[in-house]
Amino acid sequence: MSKKIMILPGDGIGPEIVEQAVAVLKTADEKFGLGLEFSEGLIGGASIDAHGEPLTDAELKKAGECDAVLLGAVGGPKWDKLDRAIRPEKGLLKIRSGLGLYANLRPAILYPQLADASSLKPEVVSGLDILIVRELTGGIYFGEPRGIRTLENGEKQGFNTYVYKESEIERIARTAFEAAQKRGGKLCSVDKANVLEVTVLWREVLDRLAPEYPDVELSHMYVDNAAMQLVRAPKQFDVMVTGNMFGDILSDAAAMLTGSIGMLPSASLNESGFGLYEPCHGSAPDIAGQGIANPLATILSAAMMLRYSLDMGDVADAIEAAVSKVLDQGLRTADIYTEGCKKVSTAEMGAAVVAAL
Amino acid sequence: MSKKIMILPGDGIGPEIVEQAVAVLKTADEKFGLGLEFSEGLIGGASIDAHGEPLTDAELKKAGECDAVLLGAVGGPKWDKLDRAIRPEKGLLKIRSGLGLYANLRPAILYPQLADASSLKPEVVSGLDILIVRELTGGIYFGEPRGIRTLENGEKQGFNTYVYKESEIERIARTAFEAAQKRGGKLCSVDKANVLEVTVLWREVLDRLAPEYPDVELSHMYVDNAAMQLVRAPKQFDVMVTGNMFGDILSDAAAMLTGSIGMLPSASLNESGFGLYEPCHGSAPDIAGQGIANPLATILSAAMMLRYSLDMGDVADAIEAAVSKVLDQGLRTADIYTEGCKKVSTAEMGAAVVAAL
Ligand SMILES: CC(C)[C@H](C(=O)O)[C@@H](O)C(=O)O
Ligand SMILES: CC(C)[C@H](C(=O)O)[C@@H](O)C(=O)O
């Protein structure tokens, strides 16, 4: 029984880092006989160049027929001046929404080998291990009405709609409660219920579900305070759950606490466990094509894919162990380099993981 | 010519810290003959207890007739279970909106004497001096329609509207450009223009105004990246400008970078320079009544008031110098205490500033 994986390299450093992750997956496939089958597609600027749009319906359909998708990154200055409807980012929003990938899991983990890379004091972040669960197909990202209109007096007005219904909140809340059950048993839900009605409903739904998860300790925090607490004492958190927009902001802040965003994978899942896997970082056009990007976040995303969508948890473990081993060997790409380590290229880092595997 | 100042102590530690700030203002008044006149009013929970609502129209009117308002803080668990329409926070939103206080200035400054208090590494934050300019009377905080409705299938849906028109963006942008002119000449505008139309308009207006301020270097940053950059390398920023919601989140994160949010004042101004001044921190109900809260943020807010609304910049300088002096003397309230310093109460700290003045 083969497993079909669609590869979407995207733009910027996307192709370089995805190449290494695919090499790792192929090695794992040979070694453990996984029966992986790969196909490749276009998204973002690469798709705009080929088809005039950031993700074609045909490509979306193909992706949906696979067992999982591995994505590099999208976007770059080349496409910044295009009409907003056909920007690279729209491809990402289209695949998330089109495949119903509502549950975005973003771990923020401090690798002990990279403890120095954080801008925070070691005692504040050592051992950091947070999971941010972000709702990904609703909220203000997709709410209607939206747009820019001209008012009677001739001035323009921009507007977006922040909207959630109970069922959308409930399913992401369950993902978060279940994640907390498998981790430290603590869930912090982030909202702005003192100002925004939509998050009043958010809080109500979380409170209503809580009794079903007696082994999880649920707390609520306003988003402004959550941003502060992440800076002040991030280790107080285990799992955090929040909407699309707040999740975008807080997960990036949390990732940066570790100082090595080039190390952090992410998963975006739908109801049936199908998932899109991508590094937390962007397409980094400034260093694209130089062969210096860090492929580890993408390799770790591939590991997450094996664990969550393909039910191959021990292979995922093996890949993660291989990554840890190359870090122990002192190999570092430029973004995580510190004195005394060995600076390596994207390809060398990928090859080292393959060898360690 | 006397200047009328309205004092709104509010809830929690509000009354304690405001008392010290008023003592400092009275001392300055005597010393420099400023002709200050004080009146006191109710806001937040204190007003709910007395009048059943968090800010009466009469009190709002009185505030508008003064030259400036000094506020402590609002809110506390006592009022958490009330109907949402009469929560303490609504008083704050009502006075901001009712008096047109659209320009919220939130400095994030690291006091050299308190460098150790930050959770960030000293080299990352030493000398930090950012000014966040937050739009305060528009955006999703006040956008209509808003509420919670029941859909046809019986489930509830929460919704809010994120809306800005050009004139609203333009006036806060000008505040920010002018602030940048008086500071380091750099302005970073924060938006989410790759997803939200309302912030596409935001970015357009900033770009349109930029040529009028050739001495200011304008840049744009997505909010998720801004949250990351504040953690990674906050000293890259001089002035940041953003909407109400993003400003709420980023200004709190920025304040926390300094490790001493008990030190940070804020100003909320309208078109004519009238302003409401309050500490960045909240009402801290957990320590209210114990006499251990830090009054310095409120005292520094009073200094800001003298500078921005009462045109008494040198008196403001004198108060700020007095605060610096008591820090040099090693006096610390509990929140900023480190070994080797002298721990003092709220009243002792206030008295020390009065003495230094
Ligand atoms: C590129 C952008 C549309 C996207 C988002 O805002 O979701 C990105 O920031 C992310 O977090 O994956
Ligand atoms: C209390 C609350 C309504 C308020 C806000 O969100 O504006 C507070 O967080 C602030 O930043 O002044």
DSSP annotation string for A75-86: --GGGTTS-GGG
Residue B4 lies in a domain: yes
Contact at CB, A196 and B155, closer than 8 angstroms: no
The per-residue pLDDT for B83 is 84
Residues B332, B295 contacting (CB under 8 angstroms): no
The per-residue pLDDT for A345 is 98
Q: How far apart are CA A205 and CA A219, in angstroms?
A: 13
Predicted confidence (pLDDT) per residue in B218-259, tens digit: 999 999 999 999 999 999 999 999 999 999 999 999 999 999
The per-residue pLDDT for B260 is 87
Burial of A98 (0-12, 13-18, 19+ CB in 10 A): middle
Q: How far apart are CA B135 and CA B249, in angstroms?
A: 12
A328 is in an annotated binding site: no
Euclidean distance between the first and final Cα of chain B, in Å?
A: 23
Residue B285 lies in a domain: yes
**For the CA of A278, the nearest atom of ligand 1:** 12
Residues A164, A139 contacting (CB under 8 angstroms): yes
- In a 3-state reduction of DSSP, which class is residue A288? coil
Predicted confidence (pLDDT) per residue in A158-169, tens digit: 999 999 999 999
- From atom 3 of ligand 2, which residue's Cα is the shortest distance away? B89
Q: What's the DSSP call for residue A317?
A: H
Same structural domain, A99 and A8: yes
Q: How many residues does chain B have?
A: 357
B288 is in an annotated binding site: yes
**For the CA of B92, the nearest atom of ligand 2:** 3
- In a 3-state reduction of DSSP, which class is residue B319? helix
The per-residue pLDDT for A85 is 81
Residues A296, A24 contacting (CB under 8 angstroms): no
Q: Is B102 a catalytic residue?
A: no
Q: How far apart are CA A344 and CA A341, in angstroms?
A: 9
Single residue among A230, A257, A284 that ends a domain in this structure: A257
B224 lines ligand 1 (CB under 6 A): yes
Neighbours of A165 (CB within 10 A): 21
Q: How far is CA A346 from CA A243, A259, A279, A285, B251, in A?
A: 34, 19, 14, 15, 37
- From atom 6 of ligand 1, which residue's Cα is the shortest distance away? A248
Euclidean distance between the first and final Cα of chain A, in Å?
A: 23
Minimum distance, in Å, between the CA of residue B2 and any CA atom of chain A: 37
Residues B275, B267 contacting (CB under 8 angstroms): yes
Question: For residues B270-294, b (16+ Cβ closer than 10 Å) or e, as one string?
Answer: beeebbbbbbbbbbbbebbeeebbb
Task: Name the closest ligand to CA A101.
Answer: 1
Same structural domain, B210 and B242: yes
Single residue among B239, B257, B275 that ends a domain in this structure: B257
- In a 3-state reduction of DSSP, which class is residue A221? strand
What are B52's two structure tokens?
């059943």
B327 touches A: beta carbon within 8 Å: no
Q: How far apart are CA A12 and CA A284, in angstroms?
A: 6
Same structural domain, B277 and B211: no
Q: What's the DSSP call for residue A293?
A: S
- In a 3-state reduction of DSSP, which class is residue B61? helix
Residue A139 lies in a domain: yes
- Residue among A79, A84, A92, A251 to mutate when testing ligand 1 (max atoms within 8 A of CB): A92
- Angle formed by the axes of helices B296-308 and B313-328, to 10°? 160
Residue A118 lies in a domain: no
Strand partners, B130: B108
Contact at CB, A197 and B147, closer than 8 angstroms: yes
Query: A11, A192, A238, A277: which one is catalytic?
Result: A192
Residue B119 lies in a domain: no
- From atom 2 of ligand 2, which residue's Cα is the shortest distance away? B89
pLDDT in tens, chain A (357 residues): 799 999 999 999 999 999 999 999 999 999 999 999 999 999 999 999 999 999 999 999 999 999 999 999 999 999 988 888 889 999 999 999 999 999 999 999 999 999 889 999 999 999 999 999 999 999 999 999 999 999 999 999 999 999 999 999 999 999 999 999 999 999 999 999 999 999 999 999 999 999 999 999 999 999 999 999 999 999 999 999 999 999 999 999 999 999 989 999 999 999 999 999 999 999 999 999 999 999 999 999 999 999 999 999 999 999 999 999 999 999 999 999 999 999 999 999 999 999 999
Q: How far apart are CA B19 and CA B37, in angstroms?
A: 15
The per-residue pLDDT for B50 is 97
Residue type, A237: F
Same structural domain, A253 and A133: yes
Residue A119 lies in a domain: no
Closest to B99 in 3D by CA, of B68, B54, B131, B72: B68
A77 is in an annotated binding site: yes
Same structural domain, A194 and A307: no
Looking up tokens 């922040």, which residue turns up? Answer: A162
Same structural domain, B222 and B314: no
Question: For residues B233-254, b (16+ Cβ closer than 10 Å) or e, as one string?
Answer: ebeebbbbbbbbbbbbbbbbbb
Same structural domain, A33 and A2: yes
Low-confidence ranges of chain B (pLDDT < 70): none
Query: B26, B252, B337, B343: which one is catalytic?
Result: B252
State the number of CA atoms in the 13 A half-sphere of B182 facing the CB.
7
Give the Cα-Cα-Cα angle A241, A247, A252 (nearest 5 degrees). 120
The per-residue pLDDT for B24 is 98
Same structural domain, B236 and B137: yes
A86 is in an annotated binding site: yes
A116 lines ligand 2 (CB under 6 A): no
Quote the strand ranges of chain A, DSSP E. 3-10, 36-40, 68-73, 103-109, 129-135, 147-150, 156-165, 186-191, 217-222, 239-242, 265-269, 275-279, 331-332, 342-343
A and B: number of Cβ contacts within 8 A: 177
* H or E element at residue B349: helix B346-356
Same structural domain, B157 and B253: yes
Residue B72 lies in a domain: yes
Residue A123 lies in a domain: no
Residue type, A176: A
A283 is in an annotated binding site: yes
* H or E element at residue B63: helix B57-65
CATH number (domain holding residue A284): 3.40.718.10
Single residue among A233, A257, A281 that ends a domain in this structure: A257
Q: How far apart are CA B78 and CA B80, in angstroms?
A: 6
The per-residue pLDDT for A260 is 87
Q: Name the strands in the sheet holding A147-150, side by side, starting at the edge strand that comes first in the sequence.
A: A147-150, A156-165, B156-165, B147-150
Contact at CB, A147 and B197, closer than 8 angstroms: yes
Among the partner residues A158, A159, A228, nearest to B256 by beta-carbon distance: A228
Concatenate the DSSP letters of all residues of B154-166 into one string: S-EEEEEEEEEEH
Same structural domain, B252 and B268: no
Q: How far is CA B293 from CA B15, B16, B20, B347, B356, in A?
A: 11, 8, 11, 9, 20
Residue A85 structural domain: 1-113+260-357
Q: What's the DSSP call for residue A335?
A: G
- Expressed in angstroms and rounded, the spacing between residue B294 Cα and the centre of ligand 2 is 19
Same structural domain, A265 and A223: no
Residues B268, B103 contacting (CB under 8 angstroms): yes
State pTM to two decimals.
Answer: 0.96
Q: Scanning every residue of chain A, which has its alpha carbon at the shortest distance from the alpha carbon of B256?
A: A228
- Give residues 118 to 147 of B whose Cβ lies within 8 Å of A: 119-121, 124, 140-141, 143, 146-147
Q: Is A248 a catalytic residue?
A: yes
Is the dihedral angle over the CA atoms B170, B174, B175, B179 positive or is it negative?
positive
Q: How far apart are CA B155 and CA A247, in angstroms?
A: 24
Gyration radius (Cα) of chain B, Å: 20
Minimum distance, in Å, between the CA of residue A259 and any CA atom of chain B: 7
A224 lines ligand 2 (CB under 6 A): yes
Q: How far apart are CA B173 and CA B202, in angstroms?
A: 9
Concatenate the DSSP letters of all residues of B19-59 into one string: HHHHHHHHHHHHHHT--EEEEE---THHHHHHHSSSS-HHH
Same structural domain, A237 and A343: no
Q: How many domains does chain B have?
A: 2
Neighbours of A334 (CB within 10 A): 15
What are B249's two structure tokens?
């989140």
- In a 3-state reduction of DSSP, which class is residue B281? coil
